[in-house]
C-alpha cells in the first residue's frame, strides 16, 4: 500500500511500538474516548474496546479495517505476545499512544491516516457485467469456500446465479438473495426486518457469513451509486435497533461502518477494480479478498456480486 517505516518501530528502552497507519475513524474514536480494554485476541491481530467502539490492531500487510491500526508484522507479534483479554488500555492523548497494563505502548505519532470512505464512481455497464461474470466464474472454477453453501451443488448454483442475468431461479438461498435485491428498490411488499433477520448473524465465525454478504453488497452499491441510499438506510435503522442482539460485536462493527460507506482496504481496492477494464487489477484484488478470514472473503465477494447484479438489473 506504499507506507514506509523509517525504523524498526520498536524501541527496547521504553517498550514502544510505532504504528504505521490508522483509519481516520480511530482518530474520531480517540477524540471521544480515552479508556478501554482488550476485547479479543487472535493469532494475527487483536481488538480493543475503546468506549463504545472497537479498534482493530494487526499487521498492515493484511490490509486495514475501517476501524484499524496497522503495524509491521514483527510489531504485531510483539504486541500479541503481551496482550490478554480484559487487559486495561488507556489512550494518552498528549503522547499519542495506547498504554497497556504492564507498560507496553503503541504510538500513533507517525501513522499515515487513511480515509476508508467509498465514493460513487462512474462506470460502464458492459464492463461491469463482464467483470461480474469473470469474478463469479473464477470463484466457481477455483472452488472458493463460502459459509452460505451447504453442498458443492449449492455453491455452484449460487455462483451461476451471480454470473447470469436471469432473475428466475427457485432455490432457498437464491430466493433470499433475490429479496435483498428487491430491498434495493424499496419494494414495499418486502419487509426489511424479516430479510435482515435472515441474514444478520447467519453463520459461524467472528463475522458471520450473512454479515459479510451485507457488507460486500453495501460496498458495491456505494461505489456504483443509484440504489444505495434506500438499502443502506434500512440496514442502518435495523442495526441501531437490533444489530447487537443479532450478531457478534465484530460483525456488528463492520456493518456499522458499511452503512456509512467505510470499508476494509482490500474491499476498497476490489470495488475500484470492478469498474475498470483491466483484468489484471481485478484478479489481483480478488486474490487479496480470498485471504480475508476463513470464508469471510468469499462471503463478502458474494455480496459484492449481488450488489452488481442489483445494479445490472435496474
How many domains in the chain? Answer: 2
Same domain, 144 and 96: no
* Domain contains 206: yes
What CATH number does the domain containing 56 carry? 2.40.440
Residues 103 and 165 in one domain: no
Same domain, 104 and 212: no
Q: Are 287 and 186 part of one and the same domain?
A: yes
Q: Which of the listed residues 89, 114, 139 is the one where a domain comes to its end?
A: 114
Kindly state whether residues 65 and 135 are assigned to the same domain: no
pTM: predicted TM-score of the whole model, two decimal places: 0.91
Domain of residue 93 covers: 10-114
pLDDT for 170 equals 78
In tens, the pLDDT along 249-264 reads: 999 999 999 999 999 9
| pLDDT on residue 3 | 33
Query: Do 109 and 132 reside in the same domain of the chain?
Result: no
Q: Answer whether residue 260 is part of any domain.
A: yes
pLDDT recorded at residue 10: 35
| Residue of 310, 275, 294 lying closest to 135 (CA atoms) | 275
Same domain, 192 and 264: yes
Q: In this structure, are 103 and 131 located in the same domain?
A: no
Is residue 2 in some structural domain? no
Of 88, 114, 140, the domain-final residue = 114
Q: What is the block-wise mean pLDDT of the chain (314 residues), using blocks of 10 residues?
A: 36 74 98 97 96 97 97 97 97 97 95 96 92 92 87 86 75 90 76 92 90 96 78 92 94 97 97 94 95 91 94 65
What is the reported pLDDT for 205? 80
pLDDT (0 to 100) of residue 13: 43
Residue 68 domain-assigned? yes
**CA-to-CA distance for 268 and 63, rounded, in angstroms?**
10
* Predicted pLDDT at 12: 40
Whether residues 138 and 15 share a domain: the answer is: no
Amino acid at each position: 500500500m506504499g507506507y514506509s517505516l523509517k525504523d524498526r518501530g520498536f524501541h527496547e528502552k521504553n517498550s514502544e511500538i510505532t504504528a504505521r497507519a490508522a483509519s481516520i475513524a480511530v482518530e474520531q474514536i480517540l477524540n471521544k474516548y480515552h479508556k478501554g480494554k482488550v476485547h479479543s485476541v487472535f493469532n494475527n491481530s487483536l481488538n480493543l474496546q475503546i468506549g463504545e467502539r472497537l479498534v482493530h490492531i494487526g499487521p498492515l500487510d493484511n490490509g486495514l479495517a475501517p476501524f484499524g491500526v496497522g503495524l509491521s508484522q514483527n510489531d504485531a507479534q510483539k504486541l500479541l505476545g503481551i496482550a490478554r483479554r480484559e487487559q486495561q488500555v488507556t489512550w494518552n492523548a498528549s503522547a499519542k499512544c495506547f498504554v497497556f497494563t504492564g507498560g507496553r505502548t503503541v504510538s500513533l505519532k507517525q501513522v499515515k491516516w487513511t480515509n476508508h470512505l467509498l465514493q460513487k464512481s462512474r462506470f460502464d455497464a458492459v464492463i461491469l457485467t463482464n467483470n461480474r461474470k469473470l469474478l463469479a466464474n473464477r470463484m466457481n472454477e477455483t472452488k472458493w469456500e463460502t459459509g452460505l453453501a451447504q453442498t458443492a451443488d449449492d455453491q455452484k448454483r449460487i455462483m451461476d446465479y451471480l454470473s447470469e442475468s436471469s432473475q428466475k431461479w427457485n432455490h432457498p438461498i437464491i430466493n433470499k438473495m433475490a429479496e435483498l435485491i428487491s430491498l434495493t428498490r424499496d419494494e414495499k411488499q418486502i419487509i426489511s426486518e424479516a430479510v435482515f433477520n435472515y441474514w444478520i448473524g447467519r453463520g459461524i465465525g467472528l463475522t458471520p457469513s450473512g454479515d459479510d454478504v451485507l457488507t460486500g453488497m453495501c460496498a458495491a452499491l456505494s461505489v456504483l451509486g443509484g440504489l444505495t441510499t434506500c438499502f443502506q438506510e434500512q440496514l442502518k435503522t435495523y442495526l441501531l435497533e437490533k444489530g447487537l442482539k443479532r450478531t457478534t460485536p465484530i460483525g456488528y462493527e463492520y456493518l456499522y461502518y458499511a452503512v456509512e460507506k467505510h470499508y476494509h482496504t482490500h474491499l476498497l481496492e476490489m470495488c475500484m477494480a470492478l469498474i475498470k477494464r483491466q483484468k489484471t487489477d481485478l484478479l489481483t484484488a480478488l486474490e487479496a479478498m480470498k485471504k480475508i478470514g476463513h470464508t469471510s472473503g468469499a462471503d463478502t465477494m458474494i455480496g459484492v456480486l449481488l450488489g452488481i447484479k442489483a445494479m445490472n438489473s435496474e
